[in-house]
Amino acid sequence: MPQRLPLPDAEALCAALAEAMRPHVDPAATALVGIHTGGVWVAERLHAALGLKLPPGSMDVSFYRDDFHQRGLHANAKTSQIPFEVDGAHIVIVDDVLHTGRTIRAAMNELFDYGRPARIDLAVLIDRGGRELPIAPAFCAHALSLPAAQMLALEQAADGGLSFRVIEK
């Protein structure tokens, strides 16, 4: 059995990510958009910690992925909710784990269907490497290397607490 490294504390990473972002966001003009599902949970935490005025958005990028024809639509597909004006906005896309970059590319494509933001940044709890596209986070709480056969999943407990779990593919 492969040796498991201790996983970082997701709650501590949320707090660290908020502090890293604080000097770079305007509470009155910055909008967060979380990617379902883990990114939505993180965006909700960041929204509260940063005291942002614009309501957070959420998106499910399933239809925008370039591998949709291979993966199909997962059973828990959600609708996207962008409750603010995208044109001219500073938007931070929020996700739990950055890996290949394909999900983020899909998120940007979907955002442009809503309008033309002035700026898009990316905030992630963990960058696990393995990029297939030239996408990098502006804000990242932790970098972690995992074998290709493993996936890092953010989970939310019944009490709302966040934690990570490694899943074998």
Q: In sequence order, what DSSP letters do the residues of 72-128 get, joined into one string?
A: ---TT----B--S--TT-EEEEEEEEESSSHHHHHHHHHHHHH---SEEEEEEEEE-
Instruction: Quote the DSSP letter at residue 28.
Output: T
CA-based end-to-end distance of the chain: 15
Domain borders along the chain are 10-168
Residue 68, pLDDT above cutoff 60: no
CB 137 within 8 A of CB 91: no
pTM for this model (two decimals): 0.92
Fold category of 10-168 in CATH: Rossmann fold (3.40.50)
Closest CA to 78 of 98, 94, 63: 63
pLDDT tens-digit map of 26-45? 999 999 999 999 999 999 99
Closest CA to 21 of 45, 57, 55: 45
Q: What is the C-alpha separation between 50 and 18, in angstroms, rounded?
A: 7
Whole-number average pLDDT of the chain: 92
